[in-house]
Amino acid sequence: MNKEEMEKPKPRQQAIALSYQKGNTVAPKVVAKGAGFLAEKIVEAAQQHSVPIYQNKTLASMLMAIELDREIPAELYQAVAEVLAHIYYLDQKMEKKWE
C-alpha cells in the first residue's frame, strides 16, 4: 500500500432496510437506514433475524436519500425488484435445502 492509499479515507458503510407487505403498500418502504456505526447495527440486526442481505453501493446511495417510512419512488422499482427477486431465489433455495 502506498502513502496515498493509506491516507485516503475508507467510504463509510451504508445500510438500508426495506419492508414490503403485499396489499398494505404499493411499493417497498424504507424502514431503517444509516451509515457507519448505525449501518453496522442494521446489518447485525438483519443477520440475527436471518434477513437476507444484498449489497449494492449505488442502490444504497440512492435509497439513503429517501425519508424513513416512505415508499421507494417509481424510478427505483426496477432496481429494487431485482433485489427482491434475488431474495426470493435465496428463500426458495433455502426451503429446498430444508426439505
24 pLDDT band, cuts 50/70/90, is: confident
Q: What is the pLDDT of residues 61-99, one digit of tens each?
A: 999 999 999 999 999 999 999 988 888 888 887 776 665
Structural domain including 88 reads 3-98
Domain count, the chain: 1
pTM attached to this predicted model: 0.77
Band (11; pLDDT cuts 50, 70, 90) = low
For residue 60, the domain's CATH number is 3.40.1690.10
Let me know: does 17 contact 30? Beta carbons within 8 Å.
yes
Residue 97: predicted pLDDT = 64
Percent of the chain with pLDDT over 90: 57
19, three cell numbers: 419492508
Which sign, positive or negative, has the C-alpha torsion 21, 39, 47, 95?
A: positive
